[in-house]
Structure 1
Amino acid sequence: MSYVLNDPADFADESVIGFVAVHSALVRRVAGGVARAQATPPGQVAVVIGGGSGHYPAFAGLVGAGLAHGAAMGNVFASPSAQQIYSVAKSVATEAGVLLSYGNYAGDVLNFDQAEKRLRDEGIPCRTVRVTDDIYSASPTEKAKRRGIAGDLAVFRAASWAAEQGMALDDVAEVASRANERTRSIGVAFSGCTLPGASEPLFTVPAGQMAVGMGIHGEPGIDVVPLPSAREIAALLVKGLLGELPDDITGAEGARAAVILNGLGAVKSEELFVIYATVTELLAEAGVTIVEPEVGEYATSFEMAGVSLTLFWLDDELEAAWASPTYTPAYRKGAVSAADPGAAVVAQDSASEAEAVPAASQESVEIGAVALAIVESIRDMIDRDADELGRLDAIAGDGDHGIGMQRGARAGAAAASDAVAAGAGVGTVLSRAGDAWADKAGGTSGALWGAALRAAGERLGDELRPQAADVASAVDAARAAIQGYGKAAVGDKTMVDALVPFAQGLSARVAAGEALAPAWVAAAVDATDAAEATSALLPRLGRARPHMEKSLGTPDPGAISLARAMTVAGRVLADRSTTEKDGK
């Protein structure tokens, strides 16, 4: 568990403040994360990495000379928002462009892709390389679906080295992609971890057992076996990695590989050395030449007890990248020349001034207050049910759905309140709530809820008093945004399984002449029934997909939270309808 904290909601932000204070000669704080203290040299591609907090030294600890130019940092175990990624990239970008690189998780993909599009729309060249090193998270035929773990370090090193050689963006991306294709990892875990402020572990491993293939967020492994000896652990890891060589490696005999033995938080250096003694022996027997091995903590998960082994199969260029000097807060190798003092960034990036509220009709302003009441009702529901939603998510996912929804709903409600106080119409109220929700929640659900609220706001606008048909159309716009960004369909066991019946039911009832409030309440019942029915489904998307059988019999937390949100929103509308009928 975490013993040192103030308000759990502030943990990630306060950690960054302290981190930057310690390493101010190397890094500076920027909106959305951290960047090198020195400006990116003109003409150099900027490498921007990122992911959720809770994995130090990934990601902030890997920012510095010879490694990343910036890191976008989400909340604990939640991807950074698209806004955070965009802000970090803008703070370090040059005319040469930006390479984005990160572990392959659904929320990260969604948010990094949105940030990449925004950068390109502004004329900043941008490419992406996702890290997919965990071989137990998907089969060889589905390598693109694999998640990234400690192999991130190898890919980030290759990309950053290529950038510092002065390579063009496409060439930097090629080197990083080749590094990813030649990186393979396996992880095992002996215990789970507890999020800051939580009273119960996010996930667990039975006492005296070892989970094979468990992810750094607690994603279930492929097997649970009795806890073996250190030698047996090493043999399992080496055998698994030698069993799947990169396509262009014909055999281990004579090959050269960098080795990363990573502790996940509670397994300390002396224990790692015990394992590594067997790792090096077994690789030597296989004819592998080890190049500059790394043993320590590179991608952690608070106090999670576990280890991962990474083999980074080298060619001449990748070996030069791996052996090159670097100097960051958490990773140092060789000698790095002092940066040009003239390149220092003197001023910290400051938040931009608040955007002015667009003009709105009085009718739209009145409905904006109703939208605020709905968002606040969702916030209150999430505050009440966050722990339950987290427990549902932990069964086959990473257990952070309740926490992420709580951050998002609180931020959305605060932004909606500010907009209403400034005289905004309903479109602006919903759009600003969506932007704040996405920015603070991060992760997949944060991005999708943010996109949905913004789409609904854009459909309603600030000029007219929306009628029932307009509201139904706005809900369908939100549905289209979620499916467009998330790519989920009915039956995939996601929030879409509740959202589609809700949107369809609302539209059908309104088209039949039913008033908005009763139509919404009835559609929320449809959504609730559909959400409960997801317990019989197997997930086809998201972190639960590789271990779908574990979620059988449990409803999808995203569908449940969506249905409950629509239910409490219906109560707001019903109460308002009753009040209007009473003439109050």
Structure 2
Amino acid sequence: MTWLFNHPSDFAKEMVSGFVSANAAIVRQVPGGVVRSTCSKPGTVAVVVGGGSGHYPAFAGLVGQGLAHGAAMGNLFASPSAQQICSVARAANNGGGVLLAFGNYAGDVLHFGLARERLIAEGIPCEVIAITDDISSAVADEEEKRRGVAGDLVVFKAAAAAAERGDSLEQVLAAARLANQRTRTIGVAFSGCKLPGAGQPLFTIPEGQMAFGMGIHGEPGISEMPIGTASELSHHLVEHLLRDVPSSVPQVKGARVGAILNGLGSVKYEELFVLWHSVAEDLAQRGIEVVDPQVGEFVTSFDMAGLSLTLFWLNDELEGLWQAPVYSSAFRKGSRFNEEPLPAGQESENQVAPLPKASAESRQCAVRIAGMVDALAETVIENAEELGRIDAVAGDGDHGIGMERGVRAAREQARQALERGAGAGSVLQQAADAWADKAGGTSGAIWGVILNTIGITLGNERQPDTLVVAQAITRACDGVMHFGKAKPGDKTLVDVLLPFSEALNQQASRGQPLAEAWWNAADVAERSARETADMVPKIGRARPLAERSKGTPDAGAVSLAQIIRAVGRCMNRESETGGMACH
């Protein structure tokens, strides 16, 4: 369990503060994460990594000369928001563009993808790479669906070394892709972890058993089997990795590999060394030469009892990148850099960006939109426990908690924007950033896309009518499918959003007033949410337990339908009183 904390909700924030204080010569804090506290070469590419907190030394511990230039960190086991990622990327930018590198989790893919678009729009060249080293999470023919685990370090290191020598953004991305393509990881867990303040572990494993291939958040693996000797476990790990040798490796015998034996939290270094003794023998017997093996903790999961073995198949290019010197708080190699400290930064968590000018009509409309945000927030808070129960059937059960965090933040930010004279579009965009920032995860990213897209479409000049709102919902749906990669039938929020959008557009084409059109389309949304119970999830964390979810609707689809109906009730009340946002 996690023994030391003050308030569980403050754990991630206080952890980052303490880490920076203890490592001030290497890192400094900026809104959303940390960056190097030392000077980097002007004009070079900045490598920004990130993901949820709770996995130290990933990600903050890998910031330093020769490794990452910055790390964006979300809440515990939740992806950082696009806003946090952009903040870190701006602070880390050296003028040569930014590479965003992260594990291949749905929330991270969404948030980092959104951040890339924002940075490019600001004039900062940006590329992304989602790391896919975990062979247990998808078959070889679907490598793009695999998770990123301890192999993150290999990709981060290769990209950073390429950036350090002055490669272009395209070349740094190519180095990262090379490392990712040649890296494979398999893990095993003996028991689950407890988050700060949690009464129960995140997952459990039967006594005397180990979960082979389990992910770092408790995602299902390949099988459960009795705990054997270190030698027996070594054989299992090596055998599975050698079944998945990259196609670019000409032959196994005589190959040179890098290796990382990673402890996930509770397995002690002495145990890891015992296991490495067997792994080294197994590899040597197969004629494989190990180069610079690393044994220790590189990606953890609080007090999770488990470990993983990573092999990365070297060629001359990748070996040179791996062996290049690095000096970070948690990973060091070669001689220390003769770096200069950065001047004191001016970043502040309380910086407030100016709002676009808004017409009087749009400000009036913004008052009603803020009221709708209040209404949907109350609905989510009221149903948070039930949403969590639905999500727990085949997911991790955090949908209700995440949605509640998101709506509370969105409601507060909408009110603040209103007080600053924001128009309708700005109120929604401010609420979008706050929702994505605090909710984290996939749902936070998706709702950030939805509200931000609607806000952009409504703008800050005119009152919205049915046609404009229908167009905004259509664009939001397109954005969610583009960033989230979900399609109709995948058992996601899209299975409600798309039919709702189509129904609203039909109502708009008939000239229906907005309140009436929305209310009628809400019937379609609720029916569509119920129909997801008959579907089998094809993407996301529920996919490995697809059959278990049969008969239960998708939590994201249900929460969207509830929100649509809550907004509809608000529109009806406004319409009855002559509200301008509801005509």
TMscore range, shorter length:
over 0.9
Partner of 1:113: 113
Q: Would the alpha carbon gap of residues 174 and 476 (structure 1) be closer, same or farther in structure 2, given more than 3 Å must change?
A: closer
- In structure 1, which of residues 343, 347, 351 is the aligned counterpart of residue 345 of structure 2? 347
Aligned counterparts, 1:187-336, within 5 A:
187-336=187-336
SS in 1 for 2:320: helix
- Kindly indicate whether the alpha-carbon contact (under 8 Å) linking 1:40 and 1:93 is maintained by their aligned counterparts in 2: no
Corresponding position of 1:476: 474
* Preserved CA contact (<8 Å) 1:77 1:400: no
Contact conserved, 1:30 with 1:348, CA < 8 A, in 2?
A: no
Deviation string 1:294-337 (CA, Å, 9 cap, x unpaired) is 12211111222221110111123322332333221111233213
- Please give the per-residue CA displacement for 1:170-190, whole angstroms capped at 9, x wherever unaligned: 322222221111110011222
Matched, 1:567 2:565: yes
Where 1:257 maps in the other structure, the secondary structure is strand
1:202-221 Cα offsets, whole Å, 9 max, x none, are 33333333222221122221
Name 1:535's counterpart in structure 2: 533
User: Could you tell me which residue of structure 2 aligns to residue 453 of structure 1?
Assistant: 451
Q: Are 1:383 and 2:361 matched, yes or no?
A: no
Q: Which residue of 2 aligns with 1:69?
A: 69
Match of 1:428 in 2: 426
Aligned partner of 1:441 among 439, 453, 463: 439
Partner of 2:132: 132
| Pair 1:416-2:414 in alignment | yes
Distance 2:395 2:255 in 1: 37
Change (3 A) 1:370 1:486: same
Q: What displacement does 1:237 show?
A: 0.8
Cα distance between partner residues in 1 of 2:253 and 2:226: 32
Structure 1, 329-338 or 292-301: larger mean CA deviation: 329-338
Alpha-carbon shift at residue 38 of structure 1 (Å) = 0.7
8 Å CA contact 1:202–1:399 kept in 2: the answer is: no
Partners of 1:225 and 1:555 lie apart in 2 by: 32
Where 1:291 maps in the other structure, the secondary structure is strand
**For residues 268 and 247 of structure 1, do their structure 2 counterparts lie closer, same or farther at Cα, with a shift above 3 Å needed?**
same
C-alpha distance in structure 2 between counterparts of 1:388 and 1:310, whole Å: 39
Native 8 Å contact 1:431 1:458 kept in 2: yes
Count of residues paired in the alignment: 579
2:487 counterpart of 1:489: yes
Q: Residue 570 of structure 2 aligns to which amino acid in structure 1?
A: V
Displacement of 1:546 in angstroms is 4.3
Q: Helix, strand or coil for the counterpart of 1:301?
A: coil
Hey, what's the Cα distance between the residues in 2 that align with 1:465 and 1:314?
A: 60
Contact 2:327 2:333 in 1 (8 A): yes
1:354-380 CA deviation, whole Å, 9 max, x = no partner? 334444444433332222122123223
Following the alignment from structure 2 to structure 1, what is the Cα–Cα distance between the partners of residues 113 and 66?
A: 25
Contact 1:82 1:114 (C-alpha < 8 Å) held by counterparts: yes
* Mean CA deviation greater in 367-376 or 477-486: 477-486
Contact 1:408 1:438 in 2 (8 A): yes
Deviation string, structure 1 residues 487-538 (Cα, Å, up to 9, x no partner): 3222111101111222233343455565544543443343233223212212
Preserved CA contact (<8 Å) 1:416 1:432: yes
Distance in 2 separating the partners of 1:346 and 1:103? 31
Whole-angstrom CA distance in 2 between matches of 1:95 and 1:360: 34
Give 1:36's aligned residue.
Answer: 36
1:12–1:184 CA distance, 2 compared to 1 (3 A): same
Please say which of residues 559-568 and 378-387 is displaced more in the overlay.
378-387
Q: Which deviates more, 439-448 or 76-85?
A: 439-448
The residue that corresponds to 2:503 in the other structure is 505
1:18 aligns with 2:18: yes
1:4 maps onto 2:7 in alignment: no
Q: Is the 8 A contact 2:195 2:201 kept in 1?
A: yes
- Superposition deviation, residue 394 in structure 1: 4.1
Q: Distance in 1 between matches of 2:556 and 2:158?
A: 37
CA shift at 1:467, angstroms?
Answer: 3.4
Query: What is the CA distance between 1:574 and its match in structure 2?
Result: 3.5
> Residues 400-411 of structure 1 correspond to what in structure 2 (within 5 A)?
400-411=398-409
User: Cα deviations across residues 10-48 of structure 1 (Å, max 9, x unaligned)?
Assistant: 322221111111111110011221011112211332211
The TM-score normalised by the length of structure 1 is: 0.92
Contact 1:202 1:394 in 2 (8 A): no
Between stretches 241-250 and 178-187, larger displacement belongs to 241-250
Does the 8 Å contact 2:65/2:337 carry over to 1?
no
| Deviation sequence 1:144-177 (CA, Å, 0-9, x none) | 2211100111111112222222333332222222
| CA deviations over 1:107-154 (Å, ceiling 9, x no partner) | 222222222233333443333332111111111111122111001111
Give the 3-state SS of the residue equivalent to 1:473 in structure 2.
helix
Shift of 1:79: 1.6
Name the structure 2 match of 1:53: 53
Percentage identity across paired residues of the two chains? 54
* Secondary structure in structure 1 of the residue aligned to 2:224: strand
Paired residues of 1:99 and 1:127 also in contact (CA < 8 A):
yes
CA distance in 1, matches of 2:365, 2:203: 43
Q: Secondary structure at the match of 2:191?
A: coil
Task: Answer whether contact 2:113 2:483 (CA < 8 A) is retained.
Answer: no
Q: Deviations over 1:332-352 (max 9, x none)?
A: 2332133135xx232242357
Q: Indicate if the aligned counterparts of 1:78 and 1:404 stay in contact, CA closer than 8 A.
A: no
Could you say if the C-alpha distance between residues 202 and 554 of structure 1 is closer, same or farther in structure 2, counting changes exceeding 3 Å?
A: farther
Shift of 1:547: 4.3
**Which residue pairs with 1:373 in the alignment?**
371
Contact 1:358 1:424 in 2 (8 A): yes
Q: Please identify, of 46-55 and 264-273, the stretch whose mean Cα deviation from structure 2 is larger.
A: 264-273
For 2:574 and 2:77, the matched residues in 1 are separated by 38
Residue type of the alignment partner of 1:481: G
* CA shift for structure 1 position 72: 1.2
2:253 match: secondary structure = coil
Name the aligned partner's letter for residue 402 of structure 2: G
Residues 1:528 and 1:3: Cα distance change in structure 2 (over 3 Å): farther
- Gaps spanning 5+ residues in structure 2: where? none
Q: Which string of whole-angstrom CA distances, capped at 9 and with x for unpartnered residues, describes residues 468-497 of structure 1? A: 444333333332332233232221111011
Match of 1:338 in 2: 338
Task: Supply the AA of the counterpart residue of 2:427.
Answer: V
> Which residue identity does 2:330 align to in structure 1?
A
More off after superposition, 512-521 vs 115-124: 512-521
Q: Does structure 1 retain, via aligned residues, the 8 Å contact 2:30–2:349?
A: no
**What is the alpha-carbon distance in structure 1 between the residues aligned to residue 284 and residue 48 of structure 2?**
35
Contact 1:189 1:304 in 2 (8 A): yes
Query: For the residues of structure 1 that align with 2:95 and 2:58, how far apart are their CA atoms?
Result: 27
Judging changes above 3 Å, is the alpha-carbon distance between structure 1 residues 97 and 478 closer, same or farther for their aligned structure 2 residues?
A: closer
> Any unmatched runs of 5+ in structure 1?
none
Q: Which secondary structure state, in structure 1, belongs to the residue aligned with residue 292 of structure 2? A: coil
| 2:177 partner SS | helix
Any idea what SS the aligned residue of 1:184 has?
strand
